[in-house]
Structure 1
Amino acid sequence: MSGFSEDMPFFDEPNARPSAPSGIAARAMAARSGHNNAPDYLKGLNPEQRLAVETTEGPVLVLAGAGTGKTRVLTTRIAHILATGKAFPSQILAVTFTNKAAREMKIRIGVLIGEGNVEGMPWLGTFHSIGVKLLRRHAELAGLRSDFTILDTDDVVRLIKQLIQAEGLDDKRWPAKQFAQMIDGWKNKGQGPADIAEGDARAFANGKGRELYKAYQERLKTLNACDFGDLLCHPIRILRANPDVLKEYHKRFKYILVDEYQDTNTAQYMWLRLLAQRPQGKPGEIGRSSAETRATVNICCVGDDDQSIYGWRGAEVDNILRFDKDFPGATIIRLERNYRSTAHILGAASHLIAHNEGRFGKTLFTDRNDPEDGKVNVHAAWDSEEEARAIGETIEAYQRQKHNLNDMAILVRASFQMRAFEDRFITLGLNYRVIGGPRFYERLEIRDAMAFFRVVAQGADDLAFERIVNVPKRGLGEATIRQIHDTARALRIP
């Protein structure tokens, strides 16, 4: 049970308003202490953090440097909105960048205001998990059924390979994986087949890029399937083409919160603006850069323009830099007190990032003043083998000083750089553990098991069928599988 009164609205009653404070709101008021009359959940916040929590109305951008407590600010802000009766849990849209961050946020809010109140927050999750929820509710508007399948990367590549071969193209000259990456890039920009630039369309398969992209989308619809990019692109098109649906969500969401805003790509930015901006102009202008479409909304984005590291997968740091233009009159709050690093580390990092152009600017500092904190040392190595050899010697020296291996870590920019270290550590007999590797659902055996389930659930899922037709080995070759496909097409079996 939630702490709200019994007249709390169901999900389909977006216009209902919170009644007089009761439940968690009443408990919050009762918890107010003599110090500045603050409820318990606000205790321990520094002045800037508290300002970010209590500035609930209008657009707010929180520039949170690394280690400044941004997760605490976000979770406490949600708790504050709920505890003061400003909104019901179902009226808050809270978007995180990863599933792990969403789970952590739910746990922290539960600690602050009670687990039952967090369970009433159906719109707390990643861009894609919320996109799935929206799409399943309005699947027919995208030409799908609500039980659509979400294809993984392997399925996408196999499907594209089928289409390339059907066009009589050489799939070695024009690899399916390459085209899958191109499609993913287009969808990160919110571009369908009709939207891509002519030069991009002609860059693959002798100018057949647009036709293949269109055939791919049509095949997905036939299979009642989506890829990862569709989980945002379909909702964007639905909201743009159906003002009544968009208006429903405008009424539903009283508060919008976004984490890691600097890592959003163009499609995520378009999706967010559609939901966040209350349009005053024509429906066709919604989600575009028109002053007529802008209206005040209670949106809070938390991010750090200095930590934008995902440009290689479509992230646009300009999204955070133009926040005050997208939402005129926005309040900008800087969190600069660092609780994680030493003064030496902050000094080195600040000196480097100061060379970046086009940034808001902030100065991180720490109250930590430990004379034993080590300085940042920089060493250059001739190649990866020399680097691994030097680090191996350093680790052995630390071991002789009785330091534990569990207290040491090596960070690399890309996984291929680990090879030299692993070879060296094996030679030295050093125990090590690699953090990372394939995720659970990316493991071969798990993908095979999921494909069996998909064939049972949807017999027309030929991508899943193709995956498991030879698992375990049944002696079926590519020619036989292609003949099965051709027969299915001739009989008009999807």
Structure 2
Amino acid sequence: MGSAVSSAAFSTRPGLLDGLDPEQLAAASAPRGPVCVLAGAGTGKTRTITHRIAHLIQSGHVAAGQVLAVTFTARAAGEMRARLRGLGVDGAQALTFHAAARRQLRYFWPRVVGDRLWDLLEGKLRLVAQAANRAGVATEAEVLRDLASEIEWAKATLVSPDDYPAVAARTQRDTPAPAAQVAEVYRNYEKIKNSAQVLDFDDLLLHTTAVLEEHGDVATEFRDRYRCFVVDEYQDVTPLQQRLLNAWLGGRDDLTVVGDANQTIYSFGGASPRPLLEFTRRFPEATVVRLERDYRSTPQVVSLANKVIGAARGRPAGSRLQLIGQRPDGPEPRFAEYDDEPAEAVAVAGRIRQLLDAGVPASQIAVLYRVNAQSEAYEQALSELDIPYLVRGGERFFARKEVRQAISALRVATSRPSGADVVEQVRTALAGVGLTEQPPPGGAAKERWDALLSLVELAEELAATVQDADLARYVAELEQRAAAQHPPTVEGVTLASLHAAKGLEWDAVFLVGLAEGTVPIQHADGDDSAIEEERRLFYVGVTRAREHLSLTWALSRNAGGRRHRRRSRFLYGLIPEDHPAARVARAQGKTFGGATARCRVCGGGLTATLEVKLGRCARCPSNVDEELLERLKSWRSDRSRELKVPPFVVFTDATLVAIAEQRPADDGALVSISGIGATKLERFGAEVLAVVRAAGRG
């Protein structure tokens, strides 16, 4: 794919490009024109492209306001803006494709349509349901979600309702209904949407493309404004996004693309690495640079990642990047097999507790799984150990009550002149909404405090990168982040799907549920291209880890279930031959903190997770107080509604059974029950003991 350029051929402004490695420097200092950066995971692609933008601006090749950089997530766009700001660049646009298109459409719509821009449809299921009903298609929630996804795929791949049946047949689409019916739902959906004068997210791209293609005066104005384009994660562009990019360019070639075909994981949504792999066919004179030095992960993690992707079948030439670890040695990746998923979750939570005790911040630990439904077991296991966690895709940071109150307080504070620096002003303003000098002991209050502290840390980051930053500038940055849903870091273990983890990294990563049928996902079996995409998704998961990497799987879904599963095919060739695969030791009994758990009735060793929780083996009879158990469940239901959390976050069913069996009389007896730690004792201990006493009197 073209030839790499020598960095010595171009002059650079002193200091700006210092610290870049030879390949990063070659990409950053390449002249205007088409540049393709093939960047492996952890090789510093964001650093490279932001330095390239800064170099082009400071060298006078382009003005900051003439640069448009696009990526695929609001978080990545926010990080790019922050990096550019740190390099002294203000005015360059760094946005997602959809955000850029919406901004352009809002500007040009009155001229082209002659009216205000139509409202944006936040969710399409209601309209899809109406469209399906008109077409005589089932309207169950699962069917509607599948129909909505199919419409999104069709629009992303530029397939019209009329063409859909033929394209679905040619590509062998697994359609949620007969293709002709899906086409009719699609057609009805477009009619209903247009009649209501609303746009969906794909329309932002479609209409912007149409405006630039069909209105020469608009296209001329746009192209006079934007001269230089940068596309991050180019392996994930859809045909619709590529067509919009072509409309932006208008035949010009001042384009830098960055991508890694080994990380193509959105083919189901219409994404394709083909534009990346065929870049030099379109631009024969393009400069091509390969980034393979991995600065993120230890050599041990890098070695495993290379093995994972090296086993892929049919890799095109442009994807054959071999990562080279640059960090000092670290621990070998851990592999472990468990009897069932609850046992796997308990073990992972226990290992996370060890890492926390060793000083690894909770925000630098992640548990990654294939499907979101897997998170529940880990939420329970972490809750039992009082470990804070955040579920990506859960409640949005800027929607939280304390964050909304904080932003309001900060806006008010901007109207009061102060001689203090921006960090001190932020601390003072947030003191009024709950930010104390010392954190509260735990629970919900600690979570609120952590959220407020993250806003202070954001102010510290701004003060360190922007000279003379004031409170007004900080509030503007905060509002921009809120609009882009780009939250600051909050302490807590991250629970996320492998897809949601793309573009992120942590010191410690736990890849869980690595069993056949889950990784690769069951519906991918029999389709070689789908299996290879699952392998790339696994590779993305591995490359999220900086130092600690754990890979686990379970032989049964439920506790005590038949152990019929087998580990993922992607693990073969990765586990050392002499590795025992960390099978759960049955004969010796399960140990916690170095001590063997024993049955409180017969004294025998306990092996199963539920046995350890109850404090007795399955052979010994239960002495559960059914009346007390019902009272505990009623109390838990009231508390969960009050706290607005699922019941298991208060206490799991197994914990309630253990309490009803053991009837603890004091704090010491209560905390001896597995899963009740200091935090839960403080939050709920007195109430639980009161319920136990009341049941005894009754």
TM-score (norm 1): 0.69
The match for 1:324 is: 280
> In structure 2, how many angstroms separate the alpha carbons of the residues matched to 1:250 and 1:323?
22
In 1: Cα distance, 2:279 partner to 2:12 partner: 33
How far does the alpha carbon of each residue in 1:367-386 deviate from its partner, in whole angstroms, 9 at most, with x for none? 3334xx11123233344234
Shift of 1:101: 1.9
Is residue 135–residue 181 contact of structure 2 (8 Å, CA) maintained in 1? no
Aligned pairs for 1:257-272 within 5 A: 257-272=230-245
| Deviation (angstroms), 1:434 | 2.9
Q: Which residue of 2 aligns with 1:139?
A: 109
CA contact (8 A) 2:68 2:226 kept: yes
Return the offset for 1:431. 2.1
Alignment CA distance shift 1:135-1:381 (3 Å): same
Tell me whether 234-243 or 342-351 shows the greater mean CA deviation. Answer: 234-243
CA distance in 1, matches of 2:165, 2:355: 56
Q: CA 1:217–1:444 in 2, change beyond 3 Å: closer, same or farther? A: farther
Please list, as runs of the form range in 1=range in 2, the aligned pairs for 1:49-60 lying within 5 A after superposition: 49-60=24-35
Please tell me the residue identity of whatever aligns with 2:115.
Answer: R
Q: Which secondary structure state, in structure 2, belongs to the residue aligned with residue 328 of structure 1?
A: coil
Does the residue aligned with 1:181 lie in a helix, a strand or coil? helix
Q: 1:367 is matched with which residue?
A: 326
Q: What residue number does 1:98 align with?
A: 73
Larger CA deviation: 334-343 vs 208-217: 208-217
Partners of 1:261 and 1:320 within 8 A in 2: yes
Q: Structure 2 matches for 1:373-452, cutoff 5 A?
A: 373-395=330-352, 402=358, 406=362, 408-427=365-384, 429-440=385-396
Cα distance, 1:349 vs. partner? 0.5
Contact 1:306 1:359 in 2 (8 A): no
Describe the shift of the 1:91–1:402 C-alpha distance in structure 2 as closer, same or farther (beyond 3 A): closer
Q: Distance in 2 between matches of 1:271 and 1:408?
A: 38
Name 1:109's counterpart in structure 2.
84
Moved more, 236-245 or 83-92: 236-245
Moved more, 102-111 or 431-440: 431-440
| Unaligned 5+ runs, structure 1 | 1-35, 279-295, 446-494
Displacement of 1:167 = 5.2
Aligned residues of 1:131 and 1:232 also touching (Cα < 8 A): yes
- SS of match in other structure, 1:62: strand
Q: Which amino acid aligns with 1:365?
A: I
For 1:404 and 1:441, the matched residues in 2 are separated by 23
Q: Which residue does 1:210 correspond to in 2?
A: 183
Alpha-carbon deviations, 1:158-195, whole Å to 9, x = none?
Answer: 12223333456553499433322221111111233344
Q: Which amino acid aligns with 2:233?
A: E
**What residue is the counterpart of 1:292 in the other structure?**
none
The answer as to 2:136 corresponding to 1:179 is no
Please give the per-residue CA displacement for 1:141-164, whole angstroms capped at 9, x wherever unaligned.
Answer: 8758333100012xx211222333
Change (3 A) 1:178 1:365: closer
Name the CA distance, whole Å, in 2 between partners of 1:78 and 1:438: 34
Match of 1:196 in 2: 164
Q: Relative to structure 2, which stretch is displaced further, 194-203 or 304-313?
A: 194-203
- Which residue of structure 2 lines up, in the alignment, with residue 477 of structure 1? none
1:336 aligns with one of 292, 305, 320: 292
The separation in 1 between residues aligned to 2:30 and 2:196, in whole angstroms, is 47
Alignment of 1:239-278 (within 5 A): 239-276=212-249, 278=251
Measured after TM superposition, the shift of residue 420 of structure 1 is 2.3
C-alpha displacement at 1:90, in angstroms? 2.6
Query: 1:445-493 CA distances to partner (integer Å, 9 max, x unpaired)?
Result: 9xxxxxxxxxxxxxxxxxxxxxxxxxxxxxxxxxxxxxxxxxxxxxxxx
Name 1:76's counterpart in structure 2.
51
CA displacement at 1:87 relative to structure 2? 1.5
Residue 198 to residue 61, structure 1, CA distance change in 2 (3 Å):
same
Distance of aligned partners of 1:244 and 1:325 in 2 relative to their CA distance in 1, 3 Å threshold:
farther
Mapped partners of 2:303, 2:96: distance in 1: 33
Letter in 1 for 2:183: R
Say if 2:97 is the partner of 1:124. no
**8 Å Cα contact 1:148-1:226 kept in structure 2:** yes
Q: Deviations over 1:5-51 (max 9, x none)?
A: xxxxxxxxxxxxxxxxxxxxxxxxxxxxxxx8742221111111111
Percent of pairs identical after alignment? 31
In the TM superposition, what are the counterparts of 1:57-68 in structure 2 within 5 Å? 57-68=32-43
CA positional deviation for 1:79: 1.1
Aligned equivalents of 1:41, 1:185: Cα separation in 2: 42
Deviation at residue 329 of structure 1 after TM alignment: 2.0
- C-alpha distance in 2, partners of 1:413/1:326? 36
- Point out the more displaced range, 415-424 or 316-325: 415-424
Higher RCO, 1 vs 2 (CA within 8 Å, ≥6 residues apart): 1
Q: Looking at CA atoms only, which structure, 1 or 2, has the larger radius of gyration?
A: 2
Whether the 8 Å contact between 1:260 and 1:302 is mirrored in structure 2 is yes
Distance 1:132 1:419, change over 3 A: same
Mapped partners of 1:225, 1:71: distance in 2: 35
Is the 2:77–2:96 contact (alpha carbons within 8 Å) kept by the matching residues of 1?
A: yes
Q: Is residue 144–residue 224 contact of structure 1 (8 Å, CA) maintained in 2?
A: no
Change (3 A) 1:312 1:213: closer
Aligned partner of residue 335 in structure 2, secondary structure: coil
1:358 is matched with which residue? Answer: 316
Structure 2 unaligned regions, length at least 5: 1-10, 170-174, 402-698
Q: Aligned equivalents of 2:144 and 2:112: distance in 1?
A: 25
Contact 1:174/1:204 (<8 A) preserved: no
Cα pair distance change 1:369/1:209, threshold 3 Å: closer
Report the CA distance shift for 1:104/1:409 in structure 2 as closer, same or farther (over 3 A).
closer
Of residues 210, 223, 236, the one that matches 1:237 is: 210
